[in-house]
Structure 1
Amino acid sequence: MATPVLTPTRSRAIAVGGVFALQGAGYAVVVTALPSFQSRIGLDAAALSIILLGVCVTAALGSVVADAVAIRRNSRQAVALGFAVQAASLLVMATASLPALFIGAALIYGLGLGIVDAASNMQAVLVQRGHVVPLLGRFYAAYTAGAILGAMTMSGAFAAGMGAMAALIAAAVLQIVLVVVATRHLDPERAARAPREARTARTPLPRRAIVVTGLVVLAAFTIDSAISSWGTVHLTGLGAAAALAPVGYAVYQAAVLLVRLAADFLVRWVGTPLVLAGAVIAGALGGLVVAFADAPTAAIAGFALSGLAVGALVPIAFTRAGGIDPARSDEVIARVNLFNYAGAVFGAVGVGLVIDAGGASLAFLLPVLLLATALPAVIASRR
């Protein structure tokens, strides 16, 4: 039997999937390692919250950096730069003994995180152009699978007595390997293939389309951040046992992964408008169930519905972003990606403030309200 030959387009698709998977795994390792470093360095909960907020801010700056690198060079170099920044900051975080050094490294990590977030979506859109069938759902499925693997690896490291330091160093080494090896298979072209005169003219980007698409990303990441940051707390408040509380997050991630594996098929089968509308409805129902649940099992069911929404909304939004202005898709994606971090802040900080002021039930209605901002995209996709 002849050995299958990987075409350049196919090898690039595999490389992009690897970038998404490693990004998800690395982020999962960092967030699950934070409690260990919190106790080692002596950071209280308020300091940790400020660090997470700072990471969101520097990640947004990283998206802007990715845009600049992609315009002047290409998004492949932006991916390499982002992972190099992440690897260096992870090594410092792993060995830091002073709070200031650790905090500085964490903020630099956020910069690298934002660069790779934006640049990996730029690469995904470039690869999508070489395929008739949708691909971004599977790329995001690779990210979710990587996140699950990263979290499980972290759990295994703690169980084996290795600690967070070894896990962060291992993640840094993997990212260095990716910079050296895997990025060679990414698309070296600029997304902007318009004539040089047109690029020099710098005509304004279609702002309304960017905002409409970005609001879908905002809603999705608000849900994701709210459940990731406060889901376990909410279940505990409903009386969930210590062993049951983390199950809510696991069920949520499983639902996200399931939909992302099926999203490309669903888009081909029933079309983007129906999938997008179904995701918005599922997210709204999930949020309402979580908000008004009086038992942990009911809230977990709400988390699952929310996962179905997030699993579909994010890849659809970035696929749509890639088609807004194909000649300048790198710039469009960098701008749409900024809504990612606004959602992360709303979900973590906004929901947390509402929990303090009015309780968890009221707080989980915030993501439901933000889902209404995705309705213009649903309407536009039907035209």
Structure 2
Amino acid sequence: MTALVPTGVPQRTERLGVTAAYAAQGLSYATVVTALPFFRDRYGIDEETVSLITLTVVVGAAFGSILADRVSVRWGSRTSLMLALGAQAAALCVVLLPVPFPLFWAFFGVYGLGLGGVDASAAMQAVLVQRRIGRAVMGSFFATATAASAAGAVLMSGASGSALGAGLALGVAAVVAASVAGVGARIFDRTREVRATTAEQKAARTRIPTLGLLLVGFVVFAAFTADSTLSTWTTLYLHDELAVTGTWTVAGLAFAIAPLGYGTYQVATLVSRLGSDLVVRRWGRAPLAAVTAMVGAVGLAMMALLPTVGAVFLGVALAGAGVGALVPLAYSAAGDLEPSRSDEIVARVNLFTYPGSVIGAVVPGLVAASAGYGPSLLVAAVMLIPVLVAVPWFRSTRGESVPRDDAAEGAVVD
């Protein structure tokens, strides 16, 4: 066993560093997604091509998550996170320019690599920092990403669809990502795992609990399926099937009602993530995971089975409260499955994110084409029910409180 020595970086600084990484991730992703109509118009491409470009990002993100694990093996998750943020910044700088379309598409793939790398590496860092602090803080990191996503959407909205405005918004996201990467050596946790090299070391090393990894991975898969379903289809459900075309006037400003459904989901997600850490500290991670899974399923079922405007808004708020908290709980549980190999486990669990996102964006549309949006929402609701099987794996291996990292197997500080 190698003792974990102090990193020389204050806990508050490390926590701020991880928070900054999640902020950069949320800002860049929201900016890129909301810029898709601008890119479509700039290159004169159709919706099918836009879908293929989006798929390129998803595939790139999966490879980025794998690369993050490989890089963290040798240099630690701090280096992996810095490189991934740097890749995002470089890609954003290229795509905001009117470069030839093949180059644009290629760098969208580079952005995907950075996206997946930050997803995995930031979660690795979050697990390390939470363990050092000794109490639940994972929800606050994901809440930061949610708030930054909202800021990114507002930033792109202010661009008003102009080439200059969109370029400025993407440029801001690039600068933020590059800045966080640039100071990462000073503010990220330097702890890294030492992987076994000899046959004797590999034989003696603690095994990863495969069943636990698969079950926690399924929770991530189900949560992101629900998240993608709600993000993609809530507005269309309200507008197309429930014929919500009116506006809501506040202080002389008119707001279309249908998009407010997605806004309600984001607000509920943010609130649940902000509050989840306090709940975990008092009642534990496993009980909250069970409750949030059921709340999310009930919310989705309410949207599907009670097709009225009021029920849909209440349902989407419940779904946001459930799904929003479930994601940080799952990553926190992944890091505790085997603390001495948390980087590997988090990287593997993160891979479940991307098929969930794709299925949530595609399958409901296919179901809705023949049966309507209601049954399509039930798909995501049903997938949350088996999450209860994974709840026992959400208990910390050393009690419900987060263990402090005064010593850890297979860990060193650069």
- TM over 0.5, yes or no? yes
Q: Give, as a single letter, the amino acid of the residue that structure 2 aligns with 1:272.
A: R
Q: Percent identity?
A: 43
* Inter-CA distance 305–125: structure 2 relative to 1 (3 Å threshold): same
Equivalent residue number for residue 147 of structure 2 = 145
Report if aligned partners of 1:141, 1:260 keep a CA contact under 8 Å in 2.
yes
Equivalent residue number for residue 214 of structure 1 = 217
Equivalent residue number for residue 400 of structure 2 = none
In 2, Cα distance between equivalents of 1:265 and 1:196: 43
- More helix per residue: 1
1:300 aligns with 2:313: yes
Equivalent residue number for residue 357 of structure 2 = 344
Equivalent residue number for residue 313 of structure 1 = 326
* Inter-CA distance 95–204: structure 2 relative to 1 (3 Å threshold): same
Per the alignment, in what secondary structure is the counterpart of residue 133 of structure 2?
A: coil
Equivalent residue number for residue 127 of structure 1 = 129
Equivalent residue number for residue 408 of structure 2 = none
1:224 aligns with 2:227: yes
Report if aligned partners of 2:40, 2:46 keep a CA contact under 8 Å in 1.
yes
CA offset digits 1:296-339 (Å, max 9, x no partner): 33212211111011121111101110111111110000000001
**Structure 1 residues 1-20: aligned runs within 5 Å:** 8-20=10-22
Q: Give, as a single letter, the amino acid of the residue that structure 2 aligns with 1:36.
A: F
In 1, Cα distance between equivalents of 2:352 and 2:101: 29
Per the alignment, in what secondary structure is the counterpart of residue 37 of structure 1?
A: helix
Per the alignment, in what secondary structure is the counterpart of residue 190 of structure 1?
A: strand
In 1, Cα distance between equivalents of 2:288 and 2:344: 26
Tell me which structure has the larger Cα radius of gyration. Answer: 2
Equivalent residue number for residue 36 of structure 2 = 34
* Inter-CA distance 199–339: structure 2 relative to 1 (3 Å threshold): farther
Per the alignment, in what secondary structure is the counterpart of residue 352 of structure 2?
A: helix
Deviation at 1:47?
1.4
Deviation at 1:89?
1.0
1:83 aligns with 2:85: yes
Q: Give, as a single letter, the amino acid of the residue that structure 2 aligns with 1:218.
A: F
Deviation at 1:373?
3.0
* Inter-CA distance 346–277: structure 2 relative to 1 (3 Å threshold): same
Deviation at 1:134?
0.4
Q: Give, as a single letter, the amino acid of the residue that structure 2 aligns with 1:235.
A: L
* Inter-CA distance 118–280: structure 2 relative to 1 (3 Å threshold): same
Per the alignment, in what secondary structure is the counterpart of residue 187 of structure 1?
A: coil
In 1, Cα distance between equivalents of 2:29 and 2:127: 22
Equivalent residue number for residue 361 of structure 1 = 374
Equivalent residue number for residue 291 of structure 2 = 278
In 2, Cα distance between equivalents of 1:53 and 1:257: 26
1:105 aligns with 2:118: no
Which shifted more, 84-93 or 256-265? 84-93
In 1, Cα distance between equivalents of 2:352 and 2:215: 11
Equivalent residue number for residue 170 of structure 1 = 172
Aligned pair count reads: 378
RMSD across aligned C-alpha pairs, in angstroms?
Answer: 2.1
Match 1:116 to one of 105, 115, 118: 118
In 2, Cα distance between equivalents of 1:68 and 1:187: 18
In 1, Cα distance between equivalents of 2:197 and 2:52: 45
Report if aligned partners of 2:290, 2:387 keep a CA contact under 8 Å in 1.
no
Deviation at 1:196?
7.8
In 1, Cα distance between equivalents of 2:229 and 2:292: 17
* Inter-CA distance 272–49: structure 2 relative to 1 (3 Å threshold): same
* Unmatched 5+ stretches in structure 2: 1-7, 247-255, 397-414
Deviation at 1:136?
0.1
Match 1:250 to one of 263, 286, 289: 263
Q: TM-score, normalised by structure 1?
A: 0.93
Report if aligned partners of 1:75, 1:122 keep a CA contact under 8 Å in 2.
yes
Equivalent residue number for residue 3 of structure 1 = none
